[in-house]
Amino acid sequence: MTQTNLPDRSDLPTISSRFDNAQPIEILRWAVETYGSCLTMATAFGVEGCVLMDMLATLGSDARKVHIFNLDTGYQFKETLELREKIQARYGFQIELVRAKESREEMEARFGGPIYGAQPDECCRIRKVVPLRETLEGYGAWLSAIRRDQTKTRANHDLVQWDNKHNLAKISPLGNWTREDVWAYVREHNVDYNPLHDQGYPSIGCQPCTRPVQEGEHERAGRWSGTSKTECGLHFQI
């Protein structure tokens, strides 16, 4: 990775406002051209991430320089891990599995069992937040697949912004899109997606902390259901 000629953090608000009405592919192209191998992307293989990877694949050889990784907590659905294989084969991407230093088994032994029920913030911190922070070190920007219409917390998210927590730029090309826009793209481009989306899971995280949603429920209602937790701490403070 080389870190020369990257935009100054003070320029990011202006850049972001330039993209206020832009399509995701324009934002993505700018991100790839600007950051190249200094660009990384975390994906949990949700439908939005699958769409971003499909768009990346259309951008040619420069897009192959983008580092893509999945935070493999040890608690993911088997369908999620199978989808990684499918995507790698389809696009020729290498998607790194990033794991916490302490295995799931070691962590459970230390706490006397799983802690996702009693201490989900600590579980997310160990299995997601710390590995993410360590993986982002040295990169100039990371791509996120969040949409502004997902939650109130995400509504004011700038498309390009400085991520103070991780000390690099954060770019959200799908920020302007709705859930319907994402699914229209999936249909038009025959994008592979997690089969759990067709079984009532609009948002997919770790298996123990994700349930299917009922008709009329919010798309993230199945994440940490029955608790006040709404974010894992990757994008927003918990």
Of residues 58 through 77, those in contact with ligand SF4 by CB under 6 A are 73, 75
Regarding 206 and contact with ligand SF4 (CB under 6 A), the answer is: yes
Among residues 41, 40, 97, 47, which one has the least CA distance to residue 71?
A: 97
Could you tell me the sign of the dihedral formed by the alpha carbons of 131, 124, 37, 12, in that order? negative
The only residue of 27, 141, 232, 234 in contact with ligand SF4, by rule CB under 6 A:
232
Q: Is 208 in the site for ligand SF4 (CB under 6 A)?
A: yes
User: What are the C-alpha distances in Å from 220 to residues 46, 49, 74, 233?
Assistant: 12, 16, 21, 15
The SS3 call for residue 215 is: coil
- Of 146, 191, 209, 213, which lies in the binding site for ligand SF4, with binding defined by CB under 6 A? 209
Stretch that binds ligand SF4, among 29-37, 44-52, 158-166, 203-211 (CB under 6 A): 203-211
Q: 59 or 130, CB closer to ligand SF4?
A: 130
Instruction: Kindly state the smallest distance separating residue 44's Cβ from ligand SF4, in Å.
Output: 10
Task: Give residues 124-143 in contact with ligand SF4 (rule: CB under 6 A).
Answer: 124, 127-128
At position 206, the amino acid (one-letter code) is C
55 near ligand SF4, judged by CB under 6 A: no
Q: Which amino acid appears at position 104 of this protein?
A: R
CA–CA–CA angle 137, 142, 146 (5° rounding): 135
Q: Kindly determine how many residues on this chain lie close enough to bind ligand SF4 according to the rule CB under 6 A.
A: 13
Tally of CA atoms within 13 A in the half-sphere of 107 that contains its CB: 19
Taking CB atoms, the residue at the shortest distance from ligand SF4 is 206
Nearest Cα residue to 56 out of 87, 28, 23, 95: 28
The answer to whether 24 contacts ligand SF4 (rule: CB under 6 A) is: no
For residue 93 the two structure tokens come to 């991407």
232 is catalytic: yes
List 50, 206, 209, 232, catalytic entry: 232
Burial class (CB in 10 A: 0-12, 13-18, 19+), 199: exposed
The residues annotated as belonging to the active site are: 232
Provide the binding-site residues for ligand SF4, judged by CB under 6 A.
73, 75, 116, 120, 123-124, 127-128, 205-206, 208-209, 232
